[in-house]
Amino acid sequence: MQHPFSSLSVAGPRSVSGTDTKLLIGLLFVILCAGAARLFGLDHLLVWHDEVFTLLRVFGYRHDEVQTAIFSGQLLTPDDLLRFQRPDPAHTWSDAFRAFAGHPEHAPLYYALARLATALPLDPVSAARGVSAVCGILLIPAVYWLTRELFGRGLVPWIAAALVACSPLQFLYAQEARQYALWLLLTAASSAALARAMRRELRADWWLYGLFMTLGVYAHLLFVLTIPVHALYGLPVSRAGGVQAGRLARRWGSAVGVSLMLFTPWLWVIATQPGRVGHFTQWMQRPVGIGDVLAAWALHPTRTFVDLTPTPVLWWSLLIVPLVWALARFVRRAPRPAVWLLVAMALTYIGVTLGPDLLLGGSRSLHARYALPALLAIQIMVAWVIGTAIAAPSGAWSRRSGLIALALLVGLGGWSLFAIQRAATWSTKNFSANNADIARIANASDSTLIVASDSGVALGELISLAGRLDPRVRLWGQPWDQPITVPAGFATLIALTPSDQLRDAIGPEWSLTPLAGTWQWFAVEPRRTTPDTPTAPKQANEGTVH
């Protein structure tokens, strides 16, 4: 039997020349440097809201426990909040697993690994992000493996690995204390293992595929979408390669079936508390304009290759034009098995993110993290187009254009990684991205009080901000079970998601102005109609409301 991949050469019929050998050495150097960069500066980017909750769960803190301590009506220091980002001997693994189960919308594998990592002699943020960094590094050889299984030997696997290594989007999620780098790693590894198992038909390869599938479903719930993607890929390949469809279906079904059977404990966790899943994901239904959705999808693919500033630059979305051309070329000319897998993966994850937003309304499309497998598939497709162009006869325009495209993408990607390493925050920090600016404003005063009302984001935002605050700054959370008395005597007052009761306690002579372009942070300032009002709301703070 001849497998459909067996006659393929990554770079086409042309053998690897001396020039290509130099190119391979250059790509290897780029891969090693960009991959190693994931391990450096793990603590330089702002710890945002979601990462705060990662550490709360990893260390086994209950939400109500933290909420009660922060929204107590007592003056707190930044360190009083940051203690919830550090381990406590009183909170054991049992507490951690209860915290994991309390958020069934997040599969537990990453959090368990982070719990192990935080036992190392590292600060907790670097340890938790280090798990993602290791996964981000391993993603590079996993992509090489997948691309080689799809296209054979040659330049394309190396180009794909280099594009992923230099991808600012992959880099950002490789330095975030969340499960996305692990999810991507297992998506690529399971797809490569499937292609390998179908090519060699060895029992050990199917066991490896089953292992990756089991780990994958425990890494991210959206990983289950790879099951229909792999099914759509497997049947045509089996027919093209002469493998009996029935035998392949049985082997594949057994591997997937065992994986799903091993996943049943977490399925039970989800089934027994569907209300919590709905509660923690209802924010996705927040309606946004169709223009915002389309603008996000113009930026997601381009920011996979270049992202030079913390705030997205819309005109970079013009890169979508050559990207669409490259993808169309791939679909027309690439080997069919690879087209089936990569296009199915891209359409599936774009569809599950964009489809509900267009049909039902929602804000899923604003976040590239839910479509990461689709963006990875796009990177691999672009790598094939560049690799086949470079494989053209020496001196041909297509070869020169391929080399230019590769140099541009690697160069812009490397520049993006350098910019990210120098930044304090980035757009992937979402609504917490401006917390570094809020902290600078708070730290600029010798006497700053931050007041907050409990809300869906307040707890995470306060702890996120605390990591950047000067020790002299004080924080105060509005209590729910006692009269509100805002502490007096502070020169600067900043409010976070203030309730109507807190606004009344501050007093009508003070206005609340949004800070740094945010919707949740406000500067408390004297109203312009009362210029003789003192510089801090001392009188108003003495009021009491229920």
pLDDT at position 445 over 90: yes
Amino acid letter, residue 107: A
Both structure tokens of 289 = 């304009």
- The domain segmentation of the chain, as residue ranges, is 18-43+129-426, 431-541
pLDDT reading at 8 higher than 50: no
How many other C-beta atoms can be found within 10 angstroms of the C-beta atom of residue 488?
14
More confident call, 275 vs 437: 437
What pLDDT score was predicted for residue 98?
Answer: 95
Amino acid at 115: R
So what's the pLDDT on residue 508? Answer: 87
Burial class of residue 107 in the structure, from the number of CB atoms within 10 Å of its CB (0-12 exposed, 13-18 middle, 19+ buried): buried
Which residues have a Cβ under 8 Å from the Cβ of 540 and sit 6 or more positions away? 486, 505, 506, 507, 509, 510
pLDDT recorded at residue 541 = 33
- CA distances for 48 relative to 43, 44, 432, 455, 521, angstroms: 12, 12, 5, 16, 15
- Token pair recorded at residue 12: 């086409």
Contacts of 417 (CB under 8 A, 6+ apart): 34, 37, 166, 168, 171
Q: How confident is the model over 144-155, as a mean pLDDT?
A: 95
Q: Where are the alpha helices (DSSP H) in 484-544?
A: 500-506, 538-541
Quickly count: other Cβ atoms within 10 Å of residue 22's Cβ: 10
pLDDT recorded at residue 151? 95
Tokens 């093209």 label which residue? Answer: 240
Residue range 313-327, pLDDT digits in tens? 888 888 899 999 999
Flag whether pLDDT at 13 surpasses 50: no
- Mean per-residue pLDDT of the chain: 89
Per-residue pLDDT, 362 = 84
Spatial contact of 277 and 104, defined as CB atoms under 8 Å apart? yes
The predicted-structure confidence for 67-93, as pLDDT tens digits, reads as follows 999 999 999 999 999 999 999 999 999
Residue whose entry in the numeric block shows the structure tokens 């924080």: 475
User: What is the predicted pLDDT for the residue at 165?
Assistant: 98
Q: What is the pTM of this model?
A: 0.91
8 Å CB contact between 214 and 109: no
Banded pLDDT at 454 (limits 50, 70, 90): very high
